[in-house]
Amino acid sequence: MSEPTQPGDDAIVEDPTAETTPQEDAAPPEEDAPAVDESPADESTDPSEAETSETETTDLADQPEPDAVDESGEAAPVEAPDEPGEPAADTEESEPDVSAESEPEAVAAPVADEPTVSDEPGSAEESVSGTADAAAVPEGAQSSSRRRWAAVVVIAVVVALIASGAIWAAVYYGERAKPGVQIADVDVSGQTATELSATVSGILDAMTVTFRHDGETHEVNVSDLGIGIDTARIAQAALAAGDGVPFYEAYNPFHAKEVALVLDSDDERLQREVDSYFLGAEGDSADAGVSYDEAAGKFVVTPGEIGSTIDIAPIKEALAHPKAFADGVTLTERPVAPVVSDQAAEAAATTANERLGLDVVLDSAAGDYTVTAADIAAWTTFTTRAATSGDDQGSVAVGYDQAAIKRSLEAEAVGDLEDEVQHETILVSPEGNDIVTSEQGSDGVVISDLGAVASDVAGALDRGQNAVIDVATTVTEAGVERVTVPSNFNDPNGAKWIDINLSTYTLNAYEGTTHVYGPISVVTGASGTPTDPGTFYVWYKLPIQTMRGEGYVTENVRWVSYYNGDEAVHGAWWRSSFGYAASHGCVNLPESYAKWIYDWAPLGTKVEVHY
């Protein structure tokens, strides 16, 4: 170990090639050069001493390098502190002797233990070197660095908070109205689509408007006017408000985002409601009309009248700016001309009157029917072309109601155009012999499609042409019915029958065993033209007839009931007495009796002739 350098002695220059001994290997300092403990980690060190030691180290580091070597090029001596407890700041008056050659290696790496000041030359250099290392980073630089790191941390935290807030806002308001969104001055921030629709409906329900016209005022609810709103569309617009703008504007609650409240209207209802407030029915216009005058037998015109209506244009304009409703709307009237003018009605009446004279005939297999002017008048219709645009707007079309035509034909024409089927009826005696064909058969005729007939009639009238319309029919052929006459002659009140006695020249009427008329004196056939005896049945009847035979013609023979070929019971107006045989074979009666028999005895009545 080198001897300590004494004050005033020349500094010993250390061999630059000599190996630097680690501080922990150095010998402990002698007692006249006590070590300066600068370690702040030592809990026994007085805080004031630690602070003084730090100040000394800083002062050593702050000394300029040229002062480390004197003018002769030799290192300045280093003096030990006066007392072991004095701060190192006392060494400011004496600087360590450091040679120029060893200056680059004078500073060693900092070590855990504090450097000590020794009397030995090598120890003195190592002590100075340790002090310089401790002061390598200035306190101001360390404080500035800490402040920069603190600023970075704060900025990072702020950015993180902003980022997390942006993410939260994007998620929370993803399906909600953003902050600051308003509908008709109502803040709807944070509302969902369903809540927005309800809010919009509530705004409309509460919205009123005051109308002013000719000194009158009416305050009404907007919804009562047929004014509505597409709540779903407004709700979507509110959700989209703020899209496409910077984040700080979109989510800034103090940056108002107004959504327009667009209203829709039913113009017909709006017009009707507003007119009812101020005009009522008095303002209605009246179209010219056409009606049928039965007394005159033609169509006549009723003139139209000009009316008035409220001009709804100001209301329609206010719909685009609903806030304008708060100030009310002033309304005015405008004249309304009839849709159908007198000239249009006159033209229609002329056309309809011309068609009243058309000759339209319906022809079927059963007969025919001619359409009358009254029929055509009842079927005529007048239709105003008010709903269309163009040259025919307001004109009147003449037409014919097919349903009315069909109903009329069913009531009036079917009887002439159709026939019911009539089956032939043959009366048969109890013995099984044909008596007579009581009813002749006829085929049935039924119109196949009356609706088609009505259509054909309407078409002919629309064309204004005379027409003979063939009516399609369905024919049902007649059949034959054989009917056996009653035969309960032995029962009281049984079958009707007539008894003629040729011996007594009398006639009696019976119903079964019950005598109902007679005896009546009669004239029977003379010997040359006798009345045939036997059982017969009435087969033909005539209320009046001219009878012809060999050598005679008798007119106005009444109440004739034939029962056996050309033999009959009938009245004889030309005779004044009865009860003998004198006829051409018939049985003659007074006319009053003959009528009673005629009315009482139907076809098929049995006639029993005997002596």
Q: Please count the other Cβ atoms lying within 10 Å of the Cβ belonging to residue 26.
A: 18
Cis status of the peptide bond prior to 66, with omega within 30 of 0: no
Q: Name the pLDDT band for 137 (thresholds 50, 70, 90).
A: low
State yes or no: pLDDT of 531 exceeds 90: yes
Please state the rounded mean pLDDT for residues 104-120.
42
pLDDT band at 39 (very low <50, low <70, confident <90, very high): very low
- What is the mean pLDDT of the segment spanning 152-158? 81
Q: How confident is the model at residue 141 (pLDDT cuts 50, 70, 90)?
A: low
Q: For residues 283 and 205, which has the higher predicted lDDT (pLDDT)?
A: 205
- R_g over Cα of the chain: 70
Position of tokens 């300029």?
Answer: 64
Provide mean pLDDT across the span 233-246. 85
Please tell me the least confidently modeled range out of 63-77, 302-316, 328-342, 413-427: 63-77
pLDDT value at residue 530: 96
Rounded average pLDDT over 22-43? 41
Average pLDDT over residues 285-301: 93
pLDDT at 245: 79
Q: What mean pLDDT is predicted for residues 327-355? A: 91
pLDDT (average), residues 401-424: 92
Query: Amino acid letter at 123?
Result: S
Q: What's the average model confidence in pLDDT over 498-515?
A: 97
Which of 62-66, 342-346, 371-375, 394-398 shows the lowest per-residue confidence on average (mean pLDDT)? Answer: 62-66
Give 263-285 pLDDT, tens digit per residue: 888 888 888 888 888 887 666 78
Q: Are strands 216-221 and 227-228 parallel, antiparallel or unpaired?
A: unpaired
| Residue whose C-alpha is closest to residue 193's, from 208, 179, 206, 174 | 174
State mean pLDDT over 412-438. Answer: 91
If DSSP states are collapsed to H, E and C, what string results for 170-207?
A: HHHHHHCCCCCEEECCEECCCCCHHHHHHHHHHHHHHC
The band of 6, judged by pLDDT with boundaries at 50, 70 and 90, is very low
The whole-number average pLDDT for the span 336-348 is 90
What is the model's pLDDT at position 599?
Answer: 97
- List of residues 6+ apart from 343 with CB closer than 8 A: none
- Is the pLDDT confidence value at 257 over 60? yes
Q: Which residue has the higher pLDDT, 44 or 354?
A: 354
Q: Is the pLDDT of residue 435 over 80?
A: yes
- Residue in 29, 53, 28, 26 with CA at minimum distance from that of residue 41: 53
Over residues 329-335, mean pLDDT: 90
More confident residue, 93 or 261: 261
Please say whether the beta carbons of 376 and 461 come within 8 A. yes
- In which band, very low, low, confident or very high, does the pLDDT at 536 lie, cut at 50, 70 and 90? very high
Q: Is 454 helix (H, G, I), strand (E, B) or coil?
A: helix
- For residue 511, which amino acid is it? E
Whether the pLDDT of residue 475 is over 60: the answer is yes
Q: Is the pLDDT of residue 351 over 90?
A: yes
- H or E segment at 398? strand 396-400
d(CA 526, CA 576): 17
371 vs 85 pLDDT, higher one: 371
pLDDT of residue 353: 97
Which one is predicted more confidently, 35 or 532? 532
For residue 355, what pLDDT band results from cuts at 50, 70 and 90? very high
Q: Which of 215-229, 234-248, 262-276, 559-573 has the highest mean pLDDT?
A: 559-573
Average pLDDT of the segment spanning 446-466: 95
Distance, CA of 93 to CA of 80 (rounded, Å): 11
Distance of CA 609 to the CA centre of its chain: 91
Quick check: 510 pLDDT over 80? yes
Rounded to an integer, the average pLDDT of 220-248 is 84
CB environment 32-68: b (16+ within 10 A), e (fewer): ebbebbbeeeeeeeeeebbebbbebbebbeeeeeeeb
What is the C-alpha to C-alpha distance for residues 81 and 53, in angstroms, rounded to an integer? 13
Please state which of the ranges 54-68, 451-465, 499-513 shows the lowest mean pLDDT.
Answer: 54-68
Find where tokens 């004494």 sit.
6
Dihedrals φ, ψ of 218, to 5°? Answer: -140, 120
- What pLDDT, on the 0 to 100 scale, is given for residue 136? 53
Higher pLDDT, 521 or 67: 521
Instruction: Quote the pLDDT of residue 492.
Output: 96
Here the tokens at position 404 are: 């009315």
Residue 114: the pLDDT is: 44
Taking Cα atoms as reference points, which of 564, 569, 610 lies closest to residue 593? 569
On the CB side of 565, how many CA atoms lie within 13 Å of its CA? 7
Closest CA to 450 of 389, 403, 387, 518: 403
Query: pLDDT category, 259, cuts 50, 70, 90?
Result: confident
10-24, 234-248, 399-413: segment of lowest average pLDDT: 10-24
Q: Which residue has the higher pLDDT, 417 or 244?
A: 417
The torsion angles phi and psi of 93, rounded to 5 degrees, stand at -80, -20
Listed in sequence order, the residues at least 6 apart from 349 whose beta carbon sits closer than 8 Å to its beta carbon are 290, 298, 299, 300, 301
pLDDT number for residue 226: 82
**Average pLDDT for the chain:** 78
Q: What pLDDT, on the 0 to 100 scale, is given for residue 96?
A: 42
Share of the chain above pLDDT 90, in %: 42
DSSP-assigned letter for residue 39: -
